[in-house]
């Protein structure tokens, strides 16, 4: 079974469908690359995948450790290079000012975020700058 399907709709827009759930969304090329910028760009999705993967894997560890991580927020900044056009750096700040955890547990969460599957899948040329504020 396929994971997803992607269909090009024209005008630099694609529609992606998740096979198992039936959920769908669109992507647009960004305005600085001839697009409309009316939705996430494919490179935005790479950054979103990294942030989401970090939060999800941290959530697994938090549940095991008895930590309430609900409300943790990730702010993401994507930095592109022009030639070749690619993601140069992904800056992520993870916030949870009221996180109730020991320093050892917080370190487990940090280590988990930095070694999530998406983080490990990105090419070494994509700098991952992660700040933890908890």
75 and 26 in one domain? no
20 and 52 in one domain? no
Query: Which pLDDT value is given to residue 73?
Result: 98
58 and 25 in one domain? no
Contact 101, 107 (CB under 8 A): no
The predicted-structure confidence for 6-20, as pLDDT tens digits, reads as follows 999 999 999 999 999
B/e letters for 54-69, b = 16+ CB within 10 Å, e = fewer, are bbebbbebbeeeebeb
The CATH number that applies at residue 61 is 3.30.300.20
19 and 50 in one domain? no
Alpha carbon distance 22, 113 (integer Å): 28
Supply the pTM of this predicted model.
0.95
Helix or strand run (H / E) with residue 18: strand 13-18
Residue 22 domain boundaries: 4-33
């Amino acid at each position: 079974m396929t994971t997803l399907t992607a269909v090009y709709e024209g005008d630099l827009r694609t529609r992606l469908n998740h096979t198992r759930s039936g959920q769908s969304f669109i992507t647009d090329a960004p305005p600085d690359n001839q697009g409309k910028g009316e939705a996430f760009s494919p490179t935005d999705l790479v950054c979103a995948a990294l942030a989401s993967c970090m939060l999800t894997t941290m959530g697994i560890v938090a549940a095991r450790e008895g930590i309430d991580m609900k409300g943790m927020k990730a702010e993401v900044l994507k930095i592109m290079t022009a030639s070749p056009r690619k993601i140069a750096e992904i800056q992520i700040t993870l916030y949870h000012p009221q996180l109730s955890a020991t320093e050892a547990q917080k370190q487990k969460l940090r280590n988990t975020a930095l070694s999530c599957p998406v983080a490990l899948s990105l090419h070494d040329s994509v700098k991952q700058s992660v700040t933890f504020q908890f």
